[in-house]
Amino acid sequence: MKDLNSYRHTCSHIMAQAVKRLWPNTRLAIGPVIENGFYYDFESDEVFTPDRLEELETEMKRIIKEDLPIERFSLSEDEAVQLMKERDEPYKLELIGDIPDGEELSFYRQGEFVDLCAGPHCLNTGSVKAFKLTHVAERIGGDDAHIVCTEEQFVDEINRVLDFAIEMNRVFGFDRLKVYLSVRDLENKEAKYIGEERVWNLAETTLENLLMARGIDVIKDVGGAKFYGPAIDLKAVDAMNREWQGTTIQLDMNLPARFGMTYTGSDGGEHVPIMLHHTLLGSMERFVGVLIEHYAGAFPTWLAPVQVGVITVTSRSEEYGAGLVEMLRERDIRAEEDFRAEKVGLKIREAQLSKIPYMLIVGDKEAADGTVSVRSGKNGDMGIMSINEFIEMIENEIKTKAK
C-alpha cells in the first residue's frame, strides 16, 4: 500500500508540474492520494475543461520521460514562507501557517517544480509507467466573496457581514456561537507577516473594538492570523457542545497592493484599499454534516428534504392520497406518498424513523370528508384537519422558518 501511495502521490506532483508548465500563473492548493487514485486542486484563470486533459497528459508523459530525480528536503518556517512568497503560492503559505510550531516542513523537488509535501514519493519521475486522467471537477460556490473598500468603510462592511452571518446561523439553529479574533504573534511579526505596521495595528485594534462594542465575548487567537491579515472566526456550537468552523471574515492586506489597486481619498491622495474576504458557511460538506448531527436528522420543516408523508390506510384511498400529494407539490411543499400494502402502524413508524416532520394518514373517512389525519414527528397525533387548514399551518411554519 505504501508503494502504491508513493506512486499515486508522484503522479499528483507530475500533474501539478505539467499544469505549471502549461499555465504558469496557476496556483497550487493540495494534491493528495485518495482511495482510487489522486487529484490536485488548482486556482487558475484557465478553464480546465475535459478536452484539456489530453494536452495535460502529453506534458505529463514528457516529464516522466525526463526521468527527473525526486529530492526531499526540509526548511525552517521562515525559509518556507520566503520560498512560497517567491513562488507566489498563497495557498501554500496558508498551509504553512496552519502547521503547528515544531513540526517538520518538508518539501519535494523534481526539476523546476517544488511543493510543500509530507510524501512519500518515488525516487524519480521515470518510475511512473502508467496513469490516466479521468475527469475535471470545477469548484462551484456562492459562499466565497471579496469586498474591496476604503479604510473608512471597512468597519461598516464588517458589521454588515457579521449581522448576516449571525442571522444565518440563528436561522439554521445555531444560537450559540464562539467568536475568535486571530491576530499576530508580535514576537515573530517580521518573519511571518506582510503589509504596513500602521495598517496591521489599525485592523487588529478596530476589529477588537468593533466586537467589544457589539457586546460579543471575544477569544483572542494570538498567532492565528494569516500572513496577510487578521480575521474574525465564528464557530458554531452544536447540540453536543462541539465547536465547528463557520463564518470567517479575513482582512487581506496583500492582494490589493499586488494587483496595483488604488483609490483617491478625501485628502486627494492615492491610497491602497483594504480587501475583506469572507466565507459564510465554510466547507459546504462539513456544514451539511454538522446540520445533520445537530438536529440528529430531524430537521425543522422548512429544511427537511421531505416535509410531508401521505400514508394510505387501504388501497381504496389511494386516489384521494395521490390528489393530496399533487396538491401539496403544487404549493411547493415537498411531499412523498406511501401507498404500500403494509400495516399503517409500520408505515407511520418508518416515516418517523425517516424524520419526516408531518404524516397525513388518509382512509375511507378522510377521503369522504375531504380531511386528513395529521401526525407530527415531534408532537404526535394532531387530530383531524381540513386539507386547507393543514396547508395554511405548514406554509406558515415554512415561511417563518420555525424550529
pLDDT in tens, the chain (403 residues): 458 889 999 999 999 999 999 999 899 988 888 878 888 888 887 777 777 888 999 999 999 999 999 999 999 988 999 999 999 898 898 888 778 778 899 999 999 999 999 889 999 999 999 988 887 776 545 767 889 998 888 889 999 999 999 999 999 999 899 999 999 888 776 667 777 788 888 889 989 999 999 999 999 998 888 878 899 999 988 888 888 888 999 888 777 877 788 999 889 999 889 889 888 887 777 888 889 989 999 999 999 999 999 999 999 999 999 999 999 999 999 999 999 999 999 999 999 999 999 999 999 999 999 999 999 999 999 999 999 999 999 999 999 998 8
- Burial letters 48-73, b for 16+ CB under 10 A, else e: beeebeeebeebbeebbeeebebeee
What class is the 308-399 domain? alpha beta
What residues have CB less than 8 Å from 399, skipping those under 6 apart? Answer: 302
Distance from C-alpha of 49 to C-alpha of 237, rounded to nearest angstrom:
40
Q: Do residues 383 and 373 lie in contact, with contact meaning Cβ atoms separated by under 8 Å? A: yes
Quick one: how far is CA 313 from the chain centroid?
A: 44
Superfamily of domain 144-294: Bira Bifunctional Protein; Domain 2 (3.30.930.10)
Residue 240 near residue 293, CB atoms below 8 Å: yes
pLDDT of amino acid 100:
77
51-101: pLDDT as tens digits = 788 899 999 999 999 999 999 999 998 899 999 999 989 889 888 877 877
Cα dihedral across residues 336, 337, 343, 345: positive or negative: positive
- Cα–Cα dist 357/302, whole Å: 10
The answer to whether residues 57 and 133 touch, using CB atoms and an 8 Å cutoff, is: yes
CA distance to 27, 100, 139, 163, 296, per residue, from 94 (Å) = 13, 12, 19, 27, 34
Give the CATH fold of the 2-127 domain.
Threonyl-tRNA Synthetase; Chain A, domain 2 (3.30.980)
What is the pTM (predicted TM-score) of this model? 0.64
Cα separation, 303 vs 135, whole angstroms? 32
Domain boundaries, the chain: 2-127, 144-294, 308-399
Q: How many residues does the chain have?
A: 403
Summarize pLDDT for 228-255 with one digit per residue, the tens: 889 999 998 888 888 888 899 988 877 7
Amino acid 1: pLDDT:
47
Q: How far apart are CA 285 and CA 279, in angstroms?
A: 14
